[in-house]
Amino acid sequence: MFTYFGFEKEGHAHLDFGKSLNADSRVNWLIVCDQASYHLEILNATHYTTDIDIKEDSTYFFLVANCGLLPFNYHISGRFQNRGGEHLSTQYVPLPTFYSSISPVWFLIVLAFTFNWLQHRKQSVALHKLMWSLPLAKGLFCVYNAYYWRVFSRYGRLETWQTITYHVSYVIVQLLMYSVLFLVSKGWGVTRSNLSTSEKKSLVVCVTALSAASTLYQINGGYFLFALVIMYVIAMKYVFSGLEHNLRSLSRQRQFLVQRQHARSHTHN
C-alpha cells in the first residue's frame, strides 16, 4: 500500500508515478479504492500521471500492485486536496481548531499554579516548580501544534525545521510529563527530599524508555504500539506501587499530627 487519505466529496487526488525500465507494464497496476468501489489503472509507461476526482466522502486507499515475477523499483508522489483548498485528511481537519481551543486551558492552569505559588511562596517545594512547568510546556506545545496543523492544512507540506521542532517538542513534553508522574509516585519533595542512587537510575531508564516508545509510535505507528503498551504496563506498576507506599506514609503522618493536636488541646484544657 502506498498511502491512504480521507476525502470529502469533490476532493481531488493527483498522482505522479515512475518505475524502472525492467518492469513488465502488463502486470503493474495502480489501485485506488474505498470500502465500496475501486479505480484501476494499468501502469504501462515508465512515467505516469493521473488525476482522480472524488465522488463521495470516504477514506481512499492507494496501492501499487505487481502481479508479475520481475521485481521493479518505483517512486510515487501525490497531492491530495479536499474542498476549499483543505490539504488535511478528514480525520485531521479538526486538529487546528482543537489545539487553538485547548491552549488557553493550559495557560489558565499555569495561572492557577502561579497564584498558588505566590500564596505559599515561603514554602519552597521543588516538586511544585516542576509540576508548574508541565502545564506551561503543554500549553506551548498546543500553540505550536495549532500552528503546525494550520500550515499543513493550508499548504499541504511542511518545512524540515517545522517537522523537527514538532518531534523535539513532543519528546520534551513526554519526558517532563513522565518525570513528574514518577517523582510524584516516589513522594519526592513531599514525603522525602532525596532519591536513592538506584531510584534515580530506575527513574532515568523508565522515563527515557517510555518517552522513546511514545515518540517512535508517534512517528512510525504500527508495531511500535506493542512496545508502547508494554512500557505503559511496566511504568504503571512502578507508579502505582510507589503511590500506595506514599499514601500510607502520608496517612501515618496525618494521624501523628492529629494525635499531636489533640494532645495539645487536652494540655491547654
How does pLDDT run across 185-215, given as a tens digit for each residue?
877 877 777 778 887 888 888 888 888 888 8
Per-residue confidence in pLDDT tens, the chain, 269 aa = 567 888 888 888 888 877 765 555 555 666 677 766 666 666 666 777 888 888 888 888 877 777 766 666 777 788 889 988 899 998 899 999 999 999 999 999 999 988 888 887 777 677 777 888 889 999 999 999 999 999 999 988 889 999 889 988 988 888 888 888 888 887 787 777 777 888 788 888 888 888 888 888 877 777 788 888 888 888 887 777 777 777 777 777 778 777 777 777 766 65
Whether 152 and 31 share a structural domain: no
Q: Is residue 51 part of a domain?
A: yes
In a domain, 14, yes or no: yes
Answer yes or no: do 48 and 165 share one domain. Answer: no
Over residues 138-193, the pLDDT tens digits come to 999 999 999 999 999 998 888 999 988 998 898 888 888 888 888 888 778 777 77
Same domain, 230 and 165: yes
* First-last CA distance in the chain: 82
pLDDT of residue 217: 81
Whether 113 and 236 map to the same domain: the answer is yes
Residue that finishes a domain, picked among 85, 117, 144: 85
* In-domain check, residue 216: yes
Q: Is residue 188 part of a domain?
A: yes
Residue 150, domain member (yes or no): yes
Query: Are residues 138 and 20 located together in one domain of the fold?
Result: no
**18, 79, 3: which is closest to 48 by C-alpha?**
18
| Distances, alpha carbon 94 to alpha carbons 86, 89, 105, 146, 170, in Å | 11, 10, 17, 10, 19
Residue 72 sits in the same domain as residue 103: no
- Residue 81 lies in domain: 3-85
Q: Are residues 38 and 136 in the same domain?
A: no
- Of 150, 206, 148, 137, the C-alpha closest to 178 is 206
Count of CB atoms within 10 A of residue 138's CB? Answer: 20
Q: Is 268 among the domain residues?
A: no
Q: Report CA-CA distances (Å) from 163 to 3, 5, 61, 145, 225.
A: 19, 20, 24, 11, 21
Q: For residues 133 and 210, state if they share a domain.
A: yes
On whether both 13 and 119 belong to a single domain, the answer is no
Instruction: Name residue, grid cell 502488463.
Output: 26
Q: In 3-state terms, what secondary structure has residue 238?
A: helix
pTM over 0.95: no
Task: Point out which residues pair with 15 in neighbouring strands.
Answer: 50, 78
- Do 74 and 111 have their domain in common? no
Domain boundary among 26, 61, 85: 85
Dist CA 149 CA 172 (whole Å) = 19
Please list, residue by residue across 16-27, b when 16 or more beta carbons sit within 10 angstroms of its beta carbon and e when fewer do: ebebeeebeeee
Same domain for 156 and 180? Answer: yes
| Count: domains in the chain | 2
Place of cell 504500527: 222
Q: Which of 54, 85, 116 lies at the terminal end of a domain, its last residue?
A: 85
The answer as to whether 269 is a domain residue is: no
Residues 65 and 150 in one domain: no
